[in-house]
Chains A and B, each alone.
Chain A
């Protein structure tokens, strides 16, 4: 049975009669990286702020490790670590003193743990410098350090890659994966599609404060969205007829010199190729393509069509 560390139940936020988050429900499993994806103003940040208690909840509940945030805030927040937008730190103190601020008030943070976290985010050399001398990347890392000090099992990051350079993003991604593998549930929000696709196990698409759908990123190949592109030299309509002869119900469309067939079955792709070759059609290329998260996202939010598709290898 999967354990859910974070559960949202009919979470709603209204500000001055306007509904910002509308009846949002989802559960985050132990050890997964869960993405909240949505255009600006979709309610991602409001949702995250309700989860960590920065904004009051109009209706619904947030359960963290089974404790209800509304009834038992202190217990619920005990094993939560978070960075909401940029990590804001005390500039006039050293990195170490900043960490001490949080170490002091969280349960069971030993001196060894502090050193361990400093090592982890690679700030050993600068930890006794004042934070005002830090670069954005260093601040970001110190922010991660403070969020991890007390070994949270729910880690919440709002737009974590803002202001990070590509190396920083890469490091963060690997690091989050490491945490997730050790059982931490990570919730990240972003409007960067490609990033979410690379980072997350599941992504919830949110628009106008409503949950549109939840996608499993790793299992996308099995979905019906996969299409096969046959690149043909010669008569495309004739080739199309060959495939229709094979199966009348087949969903085949012509697109320039390409035939696009909706199927995910590898054996069937091989069979189609065989029939085409036997019929004397010159097949110069076969590509299996899947809809990107981006495309699905844009489809959901009704902003575009199916332009961008990503190639995935035929043989797996």
Chain B
């Protein structure tokens, strides 16, 4: 009948909560805060003498590398040092300053802010079904002339919309703040990566930023589907949020512990962080690539949604 009205209702419910506005404000405040702090404290001298600075860093790294090799340190650590040295040498030789900040460089540096979005999206997605069960308002909703799947779909689309909106707002604010602080130029600015064959390559920062924006949409979709499933399975919102947060944060630890196992690449959490794959392979698990991880996430998302809709359709509401 009027499915869009259901969606409007969910949207209104999300934005009627004070916490939603706080969730939106927190990343914005952090972005502005970091830009201001950076402007106030950055030493202009260092920027102009970056080549000397970098040469010194290369020397220090070389020393650390020799030390590490002597002590038979962790392989990942040695790889990292070697890659750093190569990148810095390349930077000096080709005159690419790593300290030159532009709006795009700022966006690349601030990419980690998406962890907040993940966090807040978990809270909203975990809450949107379970809270209505906990408060009993779900009864008032399910007695309307709408099939259950339509009601659940409206909630899913509303949460996804909220997640995407939040991400877009944060991107826009980062770009704006970065541009105002460091200038809007730098479309042609590049950064350095170490390819699989050990060669240092140049890559456009803009490319990275847009790739990161893209993969975050995919990550958010999988994250919403996961929280949504937990929210529907556990009808209490505190349990739902707790379980969702635990799985998210413990996920990385579990993956690290299981990194040696072959099947770890098929788990949800090994594939949850797509941004590390933009520049190539995952350092910890070398088999992961971007297309592979996106495929795994897609399969998980479909399965989790299928479980959610099946359970919701059949559930007896006794609250």
Contact = CB atoms under 8 A, between A and B. Distances in A.
Is B one of A's binding partners?
Answer: yes
Interface of A: 15, 49, 52-56, 73-78, 80, 82, 84-93, 97, 101-102, 104-107, 146
B2 A77 contact: no
Contacts of B16: 90, 92-93, 97
B130 to A, nearest CB: 14
Interface of B: 1-2, 5-6, 8-9, 12-13, 16-18, 135-137, 139-140, 142-147, 314, 316-318
A284 B137 CA distance: 60
A78 B18 CA distance: 33
B145 A104 contact: no
The winner among B6, B12, B18, B139 for most chain A CB atoms within 10 A is B139
B144 A88 contact: no
B137 A90 contact: yes
A73 to B, nearest CB: 6
B316 A55 contact: yes
A51 to B, nearest CB: 9
Nearest to A90: B137
A140 to B, nearest CB: 13
A105 B316 contact: no
B143 A88 contact: no
Given A93-B16, A97-B12, A52 B136 contact: no
Given A54-B139, A105-B6, 4 more contacts: A54-B317, A101-B9, A105-B1, A105-B5
Contacts of A92: 16-18
A88 B6 contact: no
A56 B313 CA distance: 10
Contacts of B2: 104-105, 107
A53 B140 CA distance: 11
Contact of A74 (B13, B135, B142, B145): B145
16 contacts: A54-B139, A54-B142, A54-B317, A56-B314, A74-B146, A86-B136, A92-B16, A101-B9, A102-B144, A104-B2, A105-B2, A105-B5, A105-B9, A105-B144, A105-B146, A107-B1
A209 to B, nearest CB: 15
A89 B137 contact: yes
Given A55-B318, A105-B5, A74 B147 contact: yes
B144 A106 contact: yes
B136 to A, nearest CB: 4
A56 B145 contact: no
A52 B18 CA distance: 33
A80 B145 CA distance: 9
A54 B314 contact: no
A134 to B, nearest CB: 14
A250 to B, nearest CB: 53
B135 A49 contact: no
A7 to B, nearest CB: 18
The winner among A54, A55, A85 for most chain B CB atoms within 10 A is A54
Contacts of A88: 135-137, 139-140
A104 B9 contact: yes
A53 B136 contact: no
Contacts of A104: 2, 5, 8-9
Contacts of A89: 137, 140
Contacts of B6: 105
Nearest to A45: B318
A55 B145 contact: no
Nearest to B139: A84
B312 to A, nearest CB: 12
A297 B120 CA distance: 55
A91 B137 CA distance: 10
A54 B140 contact: no
B158 to A, nearest CB: 13
Closest 6 CB pairs of A and B: A88-B136, A77-B145, A54-B317, A104-B5, A52-B143, A55-B316
A131 B32 CA distance: 36
B143 A82 contact: yes
Contacts of B140: 87-89, 102, 146
Contacts of A49: 316-318
Nearest to A77: B145
Contacts of A84: 139, 143
Contacts of B316: 15, 49, 54-56
